[in-house]
Structure 1
Amino acid sequence: MKSIYPAKILLLSVLMMSGNSYGQNEFPALEDRYLGQKPPGLTPKKFAPGIVSTQEHSETEVLFLPDMRELSFTRSGGKHKEPTWLVMQYKDNRWSEKSIPSTDINKYKERFSPSVSEMKGLEPFKDIPIVGFTASPKGTYYFYVLDFKDGSGHMSYSRLIDGKYEEPQRMSKAINRGKYIAHPFIAPDESYLMWDAEKDDENTPDIYISFRNKDGSWGEAINMGDTINTAAYEQRPKVTPDGKYLFFWRGDKKVRKDGSSYWIGNPHWVDAQVIENLRPKQ
């Protein structure tokens, strides 16, 4: 296996993870951190109605930079015949849309979500059909492979040991259950893992969480409950860089009269206390 430059791993980890390493003074003031929105409680709400979440469009997940001074999402539908990627920036004590030159968009997107191609260029991942991943501050990758035709696939992990990545290890059946297992998020201290999947006899994904046991093994997958998981699609869980809120996407698939389909949905947020409420007492 090739040696990995620590600086590159650190960069990937910073980009992917919620940032406990950031001091409060490096974030915008708390009341400004989320476009000035009233924080949710333990019941999820659409994020920033009329600004990010709209009735006439469908918006994807919201992604924050580690210092929370920029956020991004994609909007489609209505006048947006093609998906439009939008960035909002906190500058001079206010939020506004940031214009990104078309020639820089792909590179700029990697600030919010590093490309899988970066990871797949490393040993021992080159021959694995990885779809997506999350990385811990220590450089551990949690990634998934997925066959979109039948939903089969699994999640694996690989630790960075002495500058080299170990051979990937498939995660236990506590996590690899059901189909369409995807979109992992690892806690900064690796004490819990969230993802979405369709369990047996289900036809829409729910969000699940597993907590790490004292012996290092992973506990059984826990459905995150009826307030988060509904009959719609719930996907892409992520905790904000300040650790305060859980963001996820909720939506549904609609079918037109001509048989074609389209998606509706918006980003939602909820107090991250919902995670602690599920953590087993030890």
Structure 2
Amino acid sequence: MKKSYNILIIVGILFLNACNTKKQDSRTDSTSITEQFYFGQKPPGLIPEIFAQGIVSINGRFEGSVSFSPDLKEIYFGASDEDEKTAIYFSKLKNNKWTSIKRANFTNGEKKEEMHPFVSPDGKRIYFTALDSSFVDEKIWYVNRLKDSWSDAIQLDSPINDDLVFSPNQAKNGDMYYTNISYLPLIKTNHAPNINGAFPRVQEVEIKFGHHAFISPFQDYLLVSGRNNEDPSRKDNDIYVYFKKQDGAWTKPMNLGSTVNSDFDEKSPKITPDGNYLFFGRSERDIEPGLSNIFWVSTEVIEELRPNNF
């Protein structure tokens, strides 16, 4: 009887060890998948790091807004070439390797510039801004996903495009947020509820300031770029967060702090579909002409600012 009891103990220990090994393997697999999805980059902590330097972030090129597909296997981002015309570039993860960076050219030359790509939460569309001349004809366009490519570009049929608008993005439920520049120097952030896949009405988001607004997946916070509001002598843009209160109003803007924001322009904040990382552009033209790289940082920098009762 004692021998049988000892055997049972040994079997139990082996089972627990197997479970622990399985858990360790699972953690290892999760880490490798995360690194694979982000060009093999080591995920950052609370201090921003340049993303994919020499691949996506290239010195001498002016990079900005970034968007990933929901499965994290596609990246789209805006970048300016030598003549300062902005285009959308992309890469895809195929057979565990990222394809070479290519220009999208969604409008096939119909518009001179394309920027601010955003892959919809269901992955079936890419919304973006297209224009011929800055502050003259900015509109929101989109392409639909086909089997292995994208459709011809279509200008969004919505009151959204009654104004000059850019930087479209969506919450998980499809509600759209974007920046309205029709009333310069006043810049507005607008919200267009998703109604059966259309956007028949728009409304202004009641926030103190900011542009290039980006809504969190569940609309519990809003990120914006805006001129530093704490030091009147500074003229650079920082990234701020607004949290939504229970009554639907927004808190005061909260600066993400000196670890994220610098004395240079931070712009175009974006949250990855998995909610883990904040991507943004940082322009350091005062150091080197054309130097504007893409940075990423853990979204814990946002959560650390969240009020306790939210």
TM-score for both structures, normalised by structure 1: 0.72
The one of 269, 278, 283 equivalent to 1:237 is: 269
1:19 match:
none
Show the counterpart of 1:93: 96
Counterpart contact for 2:281–2:295, Cα < 8 Å: yes
Structure 1 pair 142–176 and aligned structure 2 pair: CA distance change class (3 A): farther
Match of 2:162 in 1: 127
For 1:42-61, what aligned pairs fall within 5 Å after superposition?
42-61=46-65
1:95 aligned partner, one-letter code: W
1:133 touches 1:143 (CA, 8 Å); kept in 2? yes
Seen in structure 2, the aligned counterparts of structure 1 residues 73 and 155 have a Cα distance that, compared at 3 Å, is closer
Residue equivalent to 2:296: 269
| Cα pair distance change 1:89/1:162, threshold 3 Å | closer
CA–CA separation in structure 1 for the residues paired with 2:84 and 2:218:
41
Post-superposition offset of 1:54: 3.1
Match of 2:37 in 1: 33
With over 3 angstroms needed to count, the CA separation of the structure-2 counterparts of 1:221 and 1:84, relative to structure 1, is closer
SS at match of 2:41: coil
Q: Pick closer, same or farther for the CA change 1:133–1:77 going to 2, 3 Å.
A: closer
Rg comparison, structure with higher value: 2
How far residue 84 of structure 1 moved from its aligned partner, in angstroms, is 6.4
1 CA distance for matches of 2:279 and 2:104? 28
CA distance 1:88–1:160, shift in 2 (3 Å): closer
Question: 2:66, 2:118 within 8 Å by CA — same for their partners in 1?
Answer: no
Counterpart position of 2:190: 156
CA distance in structure 2 between the aligned counterparts of 1:188 and 1:53, rounded to whole angstroms: 26
Paired residue type of 1:182: H
8 Å contact kept, 1:154–1:176: no
The 1:216/1:71 distance shift into structure 2, 3 A limit, reads same
Gap regions ≥5 residues in structure 1: 1-24, 257-261
Correspondence for 2:211 among 177, 182, 187: 182
Partners of 2:60 and 2:291 within 8 A in 1? no
Report which structure shows greater RCO (CA 8 Å, sep ≥6): 1
Match of 1:171 among 197, 205, 211: 205
For residues 104 and 196 of structure 2, what CA distance do their matches in structure 1 show? 40
In the alignment, what sits opposite 2:172?
137
Kindly report the root-mean-square deviation, in angstroms, between the aligned alpha carbons of the 2 structures: 3.5
Which of 234, 238, 241 matches 1:206?
238
Residues 86 and 97, structure 1, Cα contact 8 Å, conserved in 2: no
User: Could you tell which deviates more after superposition, 120-129 or 36-45?
Assistant: 120-129
Q: Secondary structure at the match of 1:31?
A: helix
CA distance in 2, matches of 1:190, 1:81: 34
Say if 2:286 is the partner of 1:251: no
Hey, what's the Cα distance between the residues in 2 that align with 1:102 and 1:163?
25
Distance 1:46 1:104, change over 3 A: same
Q: How many angstroms does 1:236 deviate by? A: 0.6
Match of 1:15 in 2: none
Partner Cα distance (2:291, 2:227) in 1: 19
